[in-house]
Amino acid sequence: MPGIRHDWTLDEVRALFALPFPDLLFQAQVTHRAHFAADRVQVSRLISIKTGACPEDCAYCPQSAHHDTGLEKQRLLEVEAVVEAARQARATGASRFCMGAAWRGPAAHDFPTVLAMIEGVKGVGMETCASLGLLSAEQARQLKEAGLDYYNHNIDTSPEHYETIVKTRGFEDRLETLDHVREAGLSVCCGGIVGMGEKALDRARMLLTLANMPKHPESVPINLLIPIPGTPLAEAERPDPFDFVRTIATARILMPASLVRLSAGRQGMSDELQALCFLAGANSVFCGEKLLTAPNAAPERDESLFGRLGLSPM
Ligand code: SAM
Ligand code: DTB
Ligand code: SF4
């Protein structure tokens, strides 16, 4: 596709971040409008199909068994409950249904249930997405066969910062799963989190990693850390909101044809900050009162915000 590059340099990415704010937003707008209608936003709905007691130690995550967050655990849901939730999500205007599980990766005995969920949700007429942790090549193939459209697997931060955030797996493990997902012909949803004590350089390196993949992730979720009491990042310093907007704008410029999702953290943002994110090229959100376990922006508030900004669902 013309204008789509996979050979960005770190200096170029840092230079984008360092632009005067109006210049960065202008460039992001030009790029956005060359590929998308600027008033359309894709809407996804999340469901946690298995909650808590995760063996991984991700410092940001309320679902890790390593942190005492008081979260109520939940075994793998029944297929019909998930399909019914998808029907409801579709009725509220969501086009994609994303099933997340607190696993290092899916165990063999749970996998047939997950495949049945995907077939069921596909039958409802929604795009399907799953976020199940590390996958083998064979598991990725089976997910594709069951009707999965997208697989979410975030790199979360820069390769350099990753080991201070997660110790139970490496950055390379994430990349390997992303390769399996691509090889299976699935679309990729891959992004990260801002606000985990990373430096500006880490944000640039995270986006550089995404933008220089052989194919850009079709969806790029940019999450603002939701600081959860009981996690090691509970007291992390909240980043400058303009730096968050800069991350969105730079993602838009580097990956012009991808959906850039203003992901976790909208509940704590002002309407004005969200509007700046849309101006910076964000064109996807999660809807519904809950993300996986944390609260999301309320549906009535979203309806009002979309109305006031003249945005409509894709
Ligand atoms: N266990 C699977 C995995 O780690 O890939 C799937 C679920 S995991 C909860 C999905 C993503 O949620 C993480 O990669 C991270 O980007 C995001 N996430 C988790 N906790 C978060 C928080 N407190 N604030 C922002 N994003 C968060
Ligand atoms: C993504 O990037 N963000 C979503 C989804 N992909 C799976 C998850 C956000 C989770 C926020 C914390 C919680 O709800 O537990
Ligand atoms: Fe487990 Fe995923 Fe949370 Fe890490 S981010 S603790 S792998 S649920």
Tell me: the pLDDT tens digits for 245-292?
A: 999 999 999 999 999 999 999 999 999 999 999 999 999 999 989 999
- Judge whether 98 counts as a catalytic residue: yes
pLDDT at 134: 97
Its CATH class, for the domain covering 10-313, is: alpha beta
The Cα 52–Cα 70 span in angstroms is 10
- Judge whether 58 counts as a catalytic residue: yes
The Cα 286–Cα 43 span in angstroms is 6
- For ligand 1, what atom is nearest to the CA of residue 292? 9
pLDDT at 189: 98
Which secondary-structure segment (H or E) carries 272? Answer: helix 271-279
SS3 150: strand
Task: Give every residue of the chain whose pLDDT is below 50, as ranges.
Answer: none
- Identity at 253, one-letter amino acid code: I
- The DSSP letter of residue 304 is H
Cα(56) to centroid of ligand 3, in Å?
6
Indicate which residue of 45, 96, 189, 252 is catalytic: 189
Q: Are 203 and 235 in contact (CB under 8 A)?
A: no
User: Bridge partners of 131?
Assistant: 100
**Domain ranges, ordered by start, for the chain:** 10-313
- For ligand 1, what atom is nearest to the CA of residue 224? 25
CB atoms inside a 10 Å sphere around CB 75: 11
- Cα of 235 vs its chain's centroid, Å: 22
The Cα 314–Cα 312 span in angstroms is 6
Cα(130) to centroid of ligand 1, in Å?
12
pLDDT at 2: 65
Ligand 1: residue whose CA is nearest its atom 5: 133
Ligand 2: residue whose CA is nearest its atom 9: 264
Q: What is the phi-psi region of residue 233: left when phi exceeds 0, alpha when psi lies from -120 to 50, beta otherwise?
A: alpha
pLDDT at 309: 97
Residue with tokens 């922006």: 297
Indicate which residue of 45, 129, 205, 287 is catalytic: 129
Cα(231) to centroid of ligand 3, in Å?
12
Ligand 3: residue whose CA is nearest its atom 2: 102
- The DSSP letter of residue 71 is P
N-to-C CA span, the chain: 22
Q: Quote the Cα angle for 69-71-72, to 5°.
A: 155
- The DSSP letter of residue 108 is T
Cα(292) to centroid of ligand 2, in Å?
6
Give the tokens for residue 133.
């942790």
Handedness of CA 19, 22, 23, 25 (dihedral sign): positive
The Cα 14–Cα 125 span in angstroms is 41
Contacts of 312 (CB under 8 A, 6+ apart): 39, 40, 41, 306
